[in-house]
Amino acid sequence: MNEDLNPTDPDLSWQECMDLLDRLPSFPAQDRVATIERLVRNPSPMIRERALRTGAAVVPDDRLVTYLRSDADDIVRNAGMEMLKMRGAKGLPLSVRLLRDEDPDVVLQAVLALGHLRDLRALEPLRASLTHTSPNIVAAAIEAVGRLGDDRAVPDLLPFLEADLWLQMAAVQALGDLRSSRALKHLSELLPDLMVGPMAAEALARVGGLKAFKALIDHWLLFGEDGDTETTLGLLAHVVEGLSKAPEPQPELLESLVGCLQSEDTEIRASAARCLLALGPTDLDDAALDELAEGQADASIVPACLDLRRDLASTLVAKGGKSRAWGFLLAAKSPRSVPVDVVVQALTTGLPSADTLRPAALALERIQSPRIAEALVDQFVAAESERGSVLVPLLATHRDYLEEVVSQRSDLDSDSRLVLLAQFGTEGEKVTEGILELDEDRRFAVLERIIDIEDIARRLPWRDWLGRDPDKYAPLAARIAARYGMADLLPTLRQLLIDQPTPEVVRAMGEFGDRESVPTLGEILNSDANPLIPIVLESLGRIGGPEARAAIREVIFNGKCEPRLGLRALSLCAIEEDDAVFRGAVGHADWYVRLTCAEVLGRFTRPENLAALSQLAADPVEIVSKQALSSLEA
């Protein structure tokens, strides 16, 4: 990073501007403001955004008000507006004060900022602005009141539905935002209006409910083909999906939706499909399902239009792809909706896709059958060993049936049989014996598939294996030892740490909090450019104690580690006498270093730490300033 950068230099590159922003926390206050005023003019959205965020935190109120008054300089005025918005709740008093400003432009910006804030404390001041002499301010105040979402404001807004178009549009928007059924009648009456009708339809959709649906349907059947079909149909779908019980669909509506299902426009087809499914069951369910699956809907959640359609669960499971995932999710809520035959059929068509796996596991928890266990074992046997492991979560749902199924199968190879037996949880001894009989390569493949089963992991002779082939077994043994707290393996792991340290062994020492390994870890730390240093630091931090702290401090001071990793490690085990290290780093260019400082300094309440935290509370990086504020509050 170039320390000589001059923020006023007009030819700063993108990277130099980013460097300046990184260094901003270490600048004196007036230099920060000057730099921000320059950077808000930068053509890069990212640089402008960061400059504005910093400005929101550090530019004083009176300076910010001068920005808002900058008639001649749009960039500065907009920057002031953005900073005011970015201040969030902290900006409320200033915004409220500015509502009484003599300059209507400043008042307008204050109203916009309050609308953005969505703080109910702004309701009364904004209601007062509804009587302002400037129509622009009134329109902005109407929309801001709507955004606050308090339905007590409905009577204040209704008169504007008969005002001039500009205010009428603002009122329609605001009434939609308030989502109050008190506005339904008034909004419905506006639907035929050519100018505000489309906005009223949108507002009705946001209010939702049966009355809004009926109003929209009536309007659709009268004018649907003449208006913006895509939008109106999308709104209808949104409203009908939100109803707790679908109304009986009118034949004219169904006929119209069938036409839309044939449209060339994908959005129209998708909305028609959503409406039909939410209104179903109808004869059109199948076509609508295909259309829905074709679209953008995510496989991991049931689309809203299918939420009440448990009757479709079975059809969906049988279909495959995204539909199958939705079917399983519905079946998980309502297991009787899908017959075992259908599930078995679905399981025999191949391994579940990544999208289907979780929904299938949820459903199979609720739909239990020996035939399903059999189908799962079939799939497990047919799949290659690595791919078959995706079935383990599904097999776990049918643990109670597996034993019988496995005992009856003569086509299982011994490795698969072992992995399946391990799932029972009752055959530990048998599985252990089986594993010991396997040759090294096959054994290792089986071990990787059953490592999550603690009972078996504990029974195995890890020390022997480590002695015979440490390269092969060390990573797995270290993981298992740390995971299940198998301290009897510690001496062997310590020796491995000396002879051939790996990330797993180093990490295990940290998990164990093993102080005896600190000298060895310290040596690795001081070896030149060892790639293990990040993991060693973390382990030392987790182990803690004077020796570990000393080792970490040493590499921080001699620059042998990335500052963020060194300070993070020290933060894990820091005591009060370390706080000077963190105070000295509050102006560091790396946000993560400053975040760590903000967290650690909050633990030790010395006056000088509070001063450092105050500096960090104005940090341009949000997570840092939040942590500092939280530490200060604590």
Partner 1 sequence: MQTPFERLTSAEHLLLNELIETRFGLSFGEEKRALLEGRLRPRLLSLGLRKFIDYYLLLKFDFESEATQLAHLLTNNESYFFRETYQFESLFADGPELLAGNGSPAWKILCAGCSSGEEAFTLNIFARESGRIDTTVDAFDLDTDRVRTALQAQFGRSSLRALDESAVNEIFRPQVGDLHELRPRFREGTSFTAGNILNLRTYPTQGPYDVLFCRNVLIYFSERALLTAIQNFAEMLRPGGLLFLGHSESIIGLTDLFETVRLSSCIAYRKVEEK
Burial class (CB in 10 A: 0-12, 13-18, 19+), 13: exposed
- 561 DSSP assignment: S
| Separation of alpha carbons 153 and 505, rounded Å | 64
Contact with partner 1 (CB under 8 A) among 6, 14, 66, 182 = 14
482 binds partner 1 (CB under 8 A): yes
Residue whose CB is less far from partner 1, 378 or 538: 538
- In 3D space, the residue among 76, 82, 75, 83 whose CA is nearest the CA of residue 58 turns out to be 83
**Does residue 294 belong to the site contacting partner 1 (CB under 8 A)?**
yes
Task: Decide if residue 1 touches partner 1 (CB under 8 A).
Answer: no
Q: How far is CA 618 from the centre of its chain?
A: 26
Would you count residue 393 as binding partner 1 (CB under 8 A)?
no
Nearer to partner 1, 66 or 266 (CB): 266
The rounded distance, in Å, linking the Cα atoms of 398 and 387 is 19
**Min CB(568)–partner 1 separation in Å:** 8
Cα–Cα–Cα angle for 414, 418, 419, rounded to 5 degrees: 120
Cis peptide before 281 (omega within 30 of 0): yes
> Should residue 45 be labelled a site residue for partner 1 when binding is judged by CB under 8 A?
yes
The correct pick among 503, 545, 563, 587 for binding partner 1 (CB under 8 A) is 503
Q: Is 535 in the site for partner 1 (CB under 8 A)?
A: yes
Binding residue for partner 1, selected from 44, 348, 407, 605, defined by CB under 8 A: 44
Q: Is 134 helix (H, G, I), strand (E, B) or coil?
A: coil
Which is closer to partner 1, CB of 211 or CB of 483? Answer: 483
Per CB under 8 A, the list member of 28, 531, 559, 607 interacting with partner 1 is 531
Question: Which amino acid is located at 142 in the chain?
Answer: I
User: Rule CB under 8 A: is residue 258 a binding residue for partner 1?
Assistant: no
According to the binding rule CB under 8 A, does residue 595 interact with partner 1? yes
Whether 596 contacts 567, CB under 8 Å = yes
Please identify which residue in 1, 29, 46, 580 interacts with partner 1, judged by CB under 8 A: 46
Instruction: Give whichever of 205 and 478 is closer to partner 1, judged by the CB atom.
Output: 478
We find the least distance from the C-beta atom of residue 526 to partner 1, in angstroms, to be 17
What is the full DSSP assignment across 198-262? Answer: HHHHHHHHHH-SHHHHHHHHHHHHHHGGGS-HHHHHHHHHHHHHT-SSPPPPPHHHHHHHHHHHT
Q: How far is the CB of 533 from partner 1 (least distance, A)?
A: 8
Shortest distance, position 293 Cβ to partner 1, whole Å: 9
Measured CA to CA, the distance from residue 619 to residue 32 in angstroms comes to: 11
* Residue 51 tokens, joined: 């400059």
Stretch that binds partner 1, among 131-139, 239-247, 279-287, 476-484 (CB under 8 A): 476-484
Distances in Å between the Cα of 34 and the Cα atoms of 46, 229, 514 are 18, 52, 51
Tell me the C-alpha distance between 414 and 603, whole Å: 56
* Structural tokens at position 181: 């059924």
Task: Give the range of 163-171, 370-378, 481-489, 603-611 binding partner 1 by CB under 8 A.
Answer: 481-489
**Which of 227, 534, 566, 620 contacts partner 1 by CB under 8 A?**
534
Given the rule CB under 8 A, which of 202-210, 305-313, 402-410, 507-515 is the region that contacts partner 1? 507-515
Residues that bind partner 1 in the complex, under the rule CB under 8 A: 14, 18, 43-46, 294, 321, 350, 451, 454, 479, 482-485, 503-504, 507, 511-512, 531-532, 534-535, 538, 562, 565, 591-592, 595, 623
